[in-house]
Amino acid sequence: MRDKLLKGIAAGADKKPVIILLVALVITAIMGVMSEQLRLDMHFKNLMPQNHPMVNEFNRIVEDYTSASMIIVAATGEEKQLKSFAEELAPQIRSMKNVIRPVDVTMDTSFINRHGFMLQKAKNLKNNADIFQDLNLIPFLTHLNDSFEKTYVQDEESISTKEKENNAVAFLDGIQTWLTTLDAYITGNGGLQKAQVATDRFLGGETYMISQDKDMLLMMVQPNFTINDLDKVLVTVDSIDALIAEVVKNYSGLEAGTTGTMALSRDETVAASEDMYITSIIAMLLIIALFIVSFRMWVAPVLAGITLIVGVTWTAGFAAVTLGSLNIMTSMFAVILIGLGVDFSIHVISIFTESRAAGQATGKALESALLKSGQGIITGAFTTAAAFYTLTISETAGMAEFGLLAGSGVLFCMLATLVVLPAMLSLRDRMLLRMHREAGTARTTEFGFLGKTAGIIAGKRTSFLIGLVIATALMFWFARQITFDYNYLNMEPEGLKSIKLQHLMEDEFEATPDFAMITAQSIEESRRIAEKAKDMKMVGMVTSISEYIPSKKEQRKRAPYIEKIRMYLKNQPLLRGVRPAQLEKFLEQVCRLQDNIIELAQLAYLGGQDKVDAKCKMLAGDPENPEDSGLFGKLYKDVKTDTRLALQGVNRFQQDIAPLMQHKALRMANADEITLAELPATIADQFLSKKGDKFLITIYPKESVWNFEFLERFTDRMQNLDPRVTGMPLVFYVLIQKIAVDGRNAAMLTLVVVFLLLLWDFRRVSFVLMAMVPLIVGAFWMVGAMYLSGLQLTMVNLMGLPLILGIGIDDGVHLLHRFRYEGGGNISSVFKSTGKAVLLTSLTTMLAFGSLVFATYRGLGSLGIALFIGVAACFLTSVLFLPALLTFVKTDKGNK
Amino acid sequence: MMKALIVLLIVFWTGSVSAQELSVLEIIRKIDATERVASSKSQGKQIITTSGGKKRTLEMIAFSKNRNEKQLMVYTAPKRIKGDKILMLNEGDDIWFYTPKTDRVRHLASHAKRQKVQGSDFNYEDMAGGKIEEDYTCKLLGSEEIDGRKSYKLELIPTESGPHYSKLILWADAERFITLRIDYYEDGELLKRLLCKDIRNIQGHWYAMKLIMTNLLEGGETVFETEEIEFDLELDDTIFTTKYLKRR
């Protein structure tokens, strides 16, 4: 049946090559046009099972909360330049049509100005109220010190969580600005503007989103589309990057770019797209080079290349219709098809040129080529495709889609090889005949060593089999030692600007994108969940709307302290100048403040609170560096330089800052109840769904979630906290679990399917087992060799295991077919001839997979190396095991 | 110091009976009688994890008296904290801090006993003294091997005035009568595990030179290592005063 079909194809190609090629061209053109619709979406969320509740919830949040789709402009440099750059850039971004809300350069202070004190805990208000009793500098500093000691020095718990640590840093930051301004006045450089900044920072904190050491600034850009709208993401992020590039020219020493999920998505898409083209071209070039070296003929690679392009184009068109977009796993389909599909052409061209060289006519040579290689090609293609198709049982969308695409792609390549290639070979012969030229003969490089080796192994089969079993046992032991790299970041492209900026942002702001998210139905529920999360040791920080709307009970508790502050501020004593005799008293309080900060620094060091320690160092100097006396050292030095001038400065400072403090604090001392309606959009949008009926809680882990043990515990604790929880790390955790199960199931099913297909093909169990032994042993060798090469299993290269079971079987199939075709007997000649083709096909596949190393996506590189090793392992096990095993088989001469 | 305190507590909990037929009460009393030391002076180190994820080793000399009722820690390294002292009186209810950098003694707020000791996975109440007989209702669950040593497995349910945990499971060496392991439960969940390693006999006292507390629920580990320890010293009461803190 198959022979008849193959003979028919050969005859058709011989007689009507032009018609066949024209039909193929039309189909290819149509599929090519369709493939233009194919998009790349590299977010690992796309690999997750369809309709998984965690993914559904993740997608709902992305759609429901505008804050989930932000473009972050991140800049590094000197503080003044950073702020000026942000102010210049912001209006230009605002004028873009896809940006709906004013770009946030500074935080919305209107709400803080109205309710600043109501947002502070009752305990802190109690400690801080007296600060506002008398804004004359000496009593102010005395009360500030009292408050400092009560809040921080006498209560080490006040910096025990990340949130408390951040609050302490904000408080110290306010003191730093206040002292810096005081020093400016002392040196004659003060002014109302500086006093206003000091007041704002002291009472309300920093308004710019700037890092603790003031060398990184962020701007939040809110687009009017979500991350799911990839086309708009690409255009908008590109436009913002162009604006940044233009503005940044005016600021030397400043660097800026975009980051956040949208910028990452753009960069990943661009990188993946480049990867697809670059790796495909590299694979193609390497294979052509191999062809030229081994066949000494330039036409063969051209024809094989055209056949491949046809097969890949048909597959791309198929992908556009069935999948619509490619993900991190399916994006490498072209390289995989180049590696696998070219093998079919090698077999056909090899035998065709041999037959022509032997003097056969074109038609007869085509028939020979298809009959001799067609059986193996069809079986090989179907077994490989079946192995890929087994992946479609996977729950993970990434693996299932890859299985469908790669399986179909192999069949498309087989079809192109059996239909298009013979027609091209026939047409080429015709053209050469018309030009009265002889068709070039492929002068293949001899691979006699394969035949000789096979002969030796067959001759000493027992010794070789014992040796191979020992080697396999060793490789099995090594394979068991291999570890898994759970860090998804190691899969991502290296060197992308958005990723670099993101890492920098994580360091500077401890703002990782790796957080958990829960949506609550009410503010009260939001508060309950947030409070429970804050109690967890593994949680670093929690943000929820309840931070801005304290409970009624809590607000009632805070109100009396706010009233007290208000009363103090309304009944301020008159400002009294600091007299020369009082300068010492004033400096005593400054010195007390310094001591308090030093003690806080020591407690922070003992408790491991790095951020507080670092901030204290800026103020009080580095305790490990006697030369560094910090801001206080400078202040004392400036006072000593000219005491009279210093006193004037202190008095001017008091005159300027006291009324400003009184005015601002009075506005903040508002005991009215805070309601949801009062929240400004900039704050509400972070927590409130578009319909305003759900409330987002974001939970940041204390340490990197890419430590798998931590991720496992974090996921478990978060799911205990609330089963609705979602977020990138949790989605990733579920994905890893699913991939492990899918990979194992697919591998088992592949073995069963391969077994059945081989049984259908060979119809003898002994042949099936012989084909499968090198395959299974090869898989162990592959993992063992990966371990020996220092590689780890990854989420992406794990897929290589079921793949290699489908790919690696081809070697044995071709060798066994040839063995049967030759009627058994001469093992050396089987390996000399077909062994050569098997070696070449293995090399082409290895080169194609190896080209993935050039992908910027390191995950693809890890798969490429794994498959490179896997194909080599399967080739080795085939040419080492089969010669020994075949000696046990008796084949009938007529079993062709 | 912390280590010494914890070990004292462990010792306090550990029973010293050689036969299964002893009642739980007898085991506990035996533990108390054998291992509660009047005073100690130790030199050791504590390894903590900072909020930035770095490991930091703090070296110290620790003194304790009246079975942990009075404790003093004097930090010796790194240079940054050399001379810093923490004094705990009344089983941790009163805490003072001194640093030579300001030469001031600060009274820190009284800590709820369940709060964590700075940078560690230990709570203050893990380190506090107190009689096991008074703080727990105990049950002998049987015997098991821990690190190759036969040990008694005891269930300790805190009394109303006892620690905040819902349950402790304690394994005590059946020959040496020192705690080998404690599992801490909170609301039925296994919260953390203390492992006592490198047990040596010093001045007739069995003592664990290395304590590892692992937070099993949320991760994290604190290690206390004792390098030297002396027991039953005549420690002057003045050591445990705020005045002494200022002494160089």
The DSSP-derived string for A519-543 is EESSHHHHHHHHHHHHT-TTEEEEE
Beta carbons of A805 and A751 less than 8 angstroms apart:
yes
For A533, the token pair is 């999360």
CA distances to A757, A783, A806, A882 from A752, rounded to whole Å, are 9, 21, 11, 21
> Which letter, b or e, does each residue of A368-390 get, where b requires 16 or more Cβ atoms within 10 Å of its Cβ?
bbbbbbbbbbbbbbbbbbbbbbb
Structure tokens at B240: 């445990």
Give B48's contacts in chain A (Cβ within 8 Å): 607-608
* Residues 6 or more apart whose Cβ sits within 8 Å of residue A367: A6, A7, A10, A11
How far CA B232 is from CA of B44, B173, B235, in Å, comes to 18, 22, 9
Contact A31, A313 (CB under 8 A): yes
How far apart, in Å, are the Cα atoms of A282 and each of A566, A796, A856, A863? 73, 21, 14, 16
- Which of A259, A291, A320 terminates a domain? The answer is A259
Query: Residue A523 forms beta bridges with which residues?
Result: none
| A393 shares a domain with A359 | yes
Question: Which pair of structure tokens corresponds to residue A68?
Answer: 């989930």
Q: Which residues of A124-154 are buried (b: 16+ CB within 10 A; e: fewer)?
A: bbbbbbbbbbbbbbbbbbbbbbbbbbbbbbb
- Per the domain annotation, does A298 fall within a domain? yes
pLDDT tier at A564 (50, 70, 90 boundaries)? very high
Q: Are residues A13 and A79 in the same domain?
A: no
- Measure A511 CA to nearest chain B CA, in Å: 13
Q: Which residues contact A764 (CB under 8 A, 6 or more apart)?
A: none
- pLDDT tens for A578-630 read 899 899 999 999 999 999 999 989 988 887 788 889 899 999 999 888 888 89
* Residuewise pLDDT in 10s, chain B (248 residues): 444 444 433 333 333 333 345 678 877 877 776 667 788 999 999 887 776 667 889 999 999 888 778 889 899 999 999 999 988 887 767 888 899 999 999 887 654 455 556 666 776 667 655 677 778 898 899 889 988 898 889 999 988 877 778 899 989 888 888 888 999 988 777 888 999 899 899 888 888 899 998 877 766 778 889 999 998 888 999 999 988 998 86
* Residues A647, A787 share a domain: no
Cα separation values, A421 from A7, A365, A391, A426, A842, Å: 14, 13, 29, 9, 20
3-state secondary structure of B182: strand
| Phi, then psi, of B58 in degrees rounded to 5 | -110, 130
How distant is the Cα of A159 from the closest Cα of chain B, in angstroms?
A: 10
Residue B200: CB atoms within 10 Å: 12
Q: What is the mean pLDDT of residues A196-208?
A: 89
A660-678 pLDDT, tens digit each: 999 999 999 999 999 888 8
Joined together, the tokens standing for residue A702 give 């204390």
Cα dist from B66 to A166, B90, B133, B236, whole Å = 39, 10, 17, 11
Chain length of chain B: 248
DSSP string over A819-865: HHHTTSS-HHHHHHHHHHHHHHHHHHHHHHHHGGGG-SBHHHHHHHH
Beta bridge partners of B228: B43
B chain contacts of residue A605, beta-carbon cutoff 8 Å:
80-81
The distance in angstroms from the start CA to the end CA of chain B is 18
* Cβ-Cβ contacts under 8 Å, A629 against chain B: none
* Neighbour-count burial of A436, counting CB atoms closer than 10 A to its CB (0-12 exposed, 13-18 middle, 19+ buried): exposed
Select the residue from B97, B102, B123 to test the A interface by mutation, using most A Cβ atoms within 10 A.
B102
CA-based nearest distance B106→chain A, Å: 7
One domain for residues A650 and A785: no
Shared-domain flag, residues A811 and A669: no
What distance in Å separates the CA atoms of residue A240 and residue A22, rounded to the nearest whole number? 46
Selection from A756, A736, A737, A746 nearest residue A779 by Cα: A746
Helices marked H in A36-106 = 53-64, 79-94
What does the block give as tokens for B40? 């100690």
Instruction: For residue A178, count other CB atoms closer than 10 A to its CB.
Output: 24
Does some domain include residue A836? yes
- pLDDT at residue A71, as a whole number: 86
The reply to whether A761 and A855 lie within a common domain is yes
> DSSP alpha helices (H): ranges in A537-582?
552-570
Percent of chain B with pLDDT over 90: 21
CA distance A271 to A858: 11
**Burial (CB count within 10 angstroms: exposed 0-12, middle 13-18, buried 19+), residue A571:** exposed
Helix, strand, coil shares, percent, chain B, to 5: 15, 50, 35
Q: Who contacts A444 (Cβ-Cβ below 8 Å, separation ≥6)?
A: A294, A295, A296, A350, A353, A354, A836
Judged by CB atoms closer than 8 Å, whether chains meet at A608 and B108 is answered as no
Looking at the 3D structure of chain A, how many domains does it have? 3
Q: Kindly state whether residues A402 and A275 are assigned to the same domain.
A: yes
Between chain A and chain B, the number of residue pairs with CB atoms below 8 A apart is 88
How many angstroms separate the CA atoms of B6 and B224, rounded?
9
Q: Assign residue A741 the CATH number of its domain.
A: 1.20.1640.10
Note whether A153 and A94 are same-domain residues. Answer: no
Q: Which residues of A touch B (CB under 8 A)?
A: 149, 153-157, 160, 162, 165, 536-538, 595, 598-599, 602-603, 605-611, 623-624, 702-704, 709-710, 713, 717
Return the closest-CA partner of residue A369 out of A345, A341, A337, A340.
A345
Residue A217, strand partner residues: A75, A210
Q: Is the pLDDT of residue A300 over 50?
A: yes
At A254 the pLDDT is: 93
What chain B holds in terms of domains, given with CATH numbers, is 2-245 (2.50.20.10)
Domain match, A438 and A294 both? yes
Residue A85 lies in a domain: yes
Question: Cβ of B53 and A703 within 8 Å?
Answer: yes
Residue A595 C-alpha, separation from nearest chain B C-alpha, in angstroms: 6
Q: pLDDT tens across A819-867, in order?
A: 877 766 677 777 877 777 788 888 888 888 888 888 888 888 888 899 9
Q: Is residue A840 part of a domain?
A: yes
**Closest residue on chain A to B100 (Cα):** A599
Cα–Cα distance measured from residue A132 to residue A130, given in angstroms and rounded to the nearest whole number:
5
pLDDT exceeds cutoff 60 at A893: no
Residues on chain A touching B101 (C-beta within 8 angstroms):
598-599, 602, 623
CB-based contact A835:A812 (threshold 8 Å): no
Same domain, A94 and A18: no
Those residues whose C-beta lies under 8 Å from the C-beta of residue A206, and which sit 6 or more positions away, are A170, A173
Asked whether B140 and B15 are in contact (CB, 8 A), the reply is: no
Q: Which residues pair with B182 in a beta bridge?
A: B170, B194
Tell me the per-residue pLDDT of A345-396, one tens digit each, with 9 for 90 and over.
Answer: 887 887 888 788 888 888 899 998 888 888 878 888 888 888 888 888 888 8
Tell me the longest C-alpha to C-alpha distance in chain B: 58
pLDDT of B2 reads 41
Q: Is the pTM of this model over 0.80?
A: no
C-alpha distances in angstroms, A518 versus A689, A733, A740, B114? 12, 17, 27, 29
According to DSSP, residue B117 is labeled: P
Q: Which residues pair with A542 in a beta bridge?
A: A699
Q: Specify if A570 maps to a domain.
A: yes
Six-digit token string for A119: 């947002």
Picking from B56, B97, B104, the nearest residue to A603 by CB comes out as: B97
- Contacts with A624 from chain B: Cβ below 8 Å: 79-80
| Tokens read off for A448 | 């006699």
| Cβ contact A154–B217 (<8 Å) | no
Side-chain half-sphere exposure of B53, counting CA atoms within 13 A: 11
pLDDT at A339 over 80: yes
Q: Is residue A525, in this structure, part of any structural domain at all? A: no
The shortest C-alpha distance from B221 to chain A (Å) reads: 12
Last residue of a domain, one of A654, A673, A692: A673
d(CA A879, CA A883): 7
- Residue A278 counted as domain residue: yes
Q: Give the pLDDT score at B5.
A: 42
Asked if residue B132 lies in contact with residue B24, where contact means CB atoms within 8 angstroms, the answer is no
Reported as type and span, the H/E element at residue B9 is: helix B2-13
Task: Characterize A718-744 residue by residue with b for buried, 16 or more Cβ atoms within 10 angstroms of its Cβ, and e for exposed.
Answer: beebbebbbbbbbbbbbbbebbeebbe
Considering the domain architecture, whether residues A30 and A137 belong to the same structural domain is answered as no
Mean pLDDT of A631-644: 92
Tell me if A203 sits within 8 A of A116, measured CB to CB.
yes
In terms of domains, do A83 and A153 share one?
no
Is the omega angle on the peptide bond into residue B78 within 30 degrees of 0, that is, cis?
Answer: yes
Which range is most confident: A161-170, A309-318, A756-765, A770-779? Answer: A309-318
Q: Are B20 and B188 in contact (CB under 8 A)?
A: no
pLDDT band at A895 (very low <50, low <70, confident <90, very high): very low
- A586 inside domain: yes
Structural domain for A666, as ranges: 111-207+560-673
